[in-house]
Structure 1
Amino acid sequence: MKNKVLYPVIAKEYNDDGHYFVVTSPNVQGMIVEGDTLEEAIEEASFDIADWFEVKGKIEKVADPSKWHLEKDEKLVYVPVNLTNFYKKYGKTVRKNISVPEYLANWAKENKINVSRVASDALKALQEQRA
């Protein structure tokens, strides 16, 4: 399971009332974000798309961007979208059998420690450290 996906959007540069960029997506109805730079607009789009996934409760299939009609001043850009919060909210729990030394298993039982919780917390910490 990947924690990031690249999501296609359409970016357009404007010079009418200052200089700024607007990002939209045919996949995310109503999403219009802007930024002073393309990087800012892409970052805002990334947050909006991640929020959209959370509201929908699922990761929507992306329409094929090669079939999108782009104006001559628009360009296709791929936005990195972080799915960590989505998976925290909607990810299912799976059963994994692990082996631990017997003395640790006994100690955990005596101290009423949930080994699954400890393993999950350790894996989450490792994931955040490597992100």
Structure 2
Amino acid sequence: MNPQNVVVYPIVLHPEDAGGYSVEIPDVGNSWPQGDNALEALEMAQDLIGTMLVNKSTFPPATPFESLTVSSPAIKTLVEVDMLALRKNHTHIVRKNVSIPEYLNELGKKQGLNFSEVLTEALHDKLNA
């Protein structure tokens, strides 16, 4: 897996008096996702990070884990998000108008090619995405 396709950010789990956890994500967004338990809170943090970054070509730098200070009973940990997998499942489509040689257009139409699919696959290959 290409390391540029994976992001890792520190987060802080804050236990709530009523139960569950709220999650502080210092480097991404201004939202605090919540979960009924630690595992759900981690999943919500991954989801929020992925959603905030899915359409970005560069990602905000992560705060070094060692420099993140927390007070008890808060828990600091790391969350990893596979941006490649997320992007492959992301359904937002952008329409592009492209120009190709006429003979390739005719050959492609005769073979019943889906030009959008071919372009998407070529971009994935070219960009190692």
Q: TM-score, normalised by structure 1?
A: 0.60
Instruction: List runs of 5+ in structure 1 lacking aligned partners.
Output: 90-107, 125-131
Of 20-29 and 30-39, deviating more is 20-29
Q: Tell me the CA shift for residue 86 of structure 1.
A: 4.2
Q: Which residue of 1 aligns with 2:82?
A: 82
What's the % identity of the aligned pairs?
Answer: 18
Q: Which amino acid aligns with 1:12?
A: H
Instruction: List runs of 5+ in structure 2 lacking aligned partners.
Output: 93-107
Q: Which residue of 2 aligns with 1:7?
A: 9
2-side partners of 1:39 and 1:117: how far apart?
39
Q: Tell me the CA shift for residue 65 of structure 1.
A: 2.2
Q: Tell me the CA shift for residue 7 of structure 1.
A: 2.2
Q: Which residue of 2 aligns with 1:64?
A: 64
Q: Tell me the CA shift for residue 23 of structure 1.
A: 0.9
1-side partners of 2:112 and 2:46: how far apart?
42
Contact 2:53 2:59 in 1 (8 A): yes
Q: Which amino acid aligns with 1:34?
A: Q
1-side partners of 2:48 and 2:37: how far apart?
17
Q: TM-score, normalised by structure 2?
A: 0.60
SS of structure 2 residue aligned to 1:32? coil
Larger radius of gyration: 1
